[in-house]
Amino acid sequence: MLDSVFKAPPIYDDSYYGYRIHEITEMIVADMGNYAHGNQSIQHMIYLYNYVGAREKTDRHIAEVRERLYSSAPDGYPGDEDNGQTSAWYVLSALGFYPVCPASGEYALCKPMFPYVKFDGSLLKDKASRKFWKNLAQESKNPTKNFLKYE
């Protein structure tokens, strides 16, 4: 069922606004089926593959979104920025994790964009933080791992 979101032709109803809104136009131009990344409420959807044991599809679609929908060009940012959600999706996905359900105590993992990331040492003063980032670095690179628990 998840695959059909990316394969189906874009389907939309513009009767509510009376015209096609920019998120729909961007979805059509992106040519990723009904996946409308510019609409923040769907951005977690790719990570749902982890819940059905298909991490390779998470990794593939995350990489595709990062490569096709984000760039340093003037129009290299999908949708609009509602409270930092689109930027947060990009940064967290580039680091290799995402809070699909923030209260669950686990992050869904994806393949990180970078071979390693170095943070300012002041961010890692406590032992729990150091342990979390070390575990994230190991687990997100392992394509058989779907989640990382946190407290």
Cα distance between residue 49 and residue 100, in whole Å: 11
Measured at the alpha carbon of residue 138, what is the angle toward residues 44 and 120, in degrees to the nearest 5? 85
> pLDDT tens per residue, the chain (151 residues)?
899 999 988 888 888 899 988 888 888 888 888 888 888 888 999 999 999 999 999 999 999 999 999 999 887 888 777 788 889 999 999 999 999 998 999 999 999 998 877 776 665 666 777 788 788 878 888 888 899 988 7
Cα distance between residue 85 and residue 30, in whole Å: 19
Closest CA to 27 of 84, 69, 70: 69
- Sorted by where each starts, the structural domains of the chain and their CATH numbers stand as 2-149 (3.30.2080)
Cα distance between residue 117 and residue 100, in whole Å: 22
DSSP string, 89-129: HHHHHHHTEE-SSTTSSEEEE---SSS-----GGGG-SHHH
* Cβ(61)–Cβ(46) below 8 Å: yes
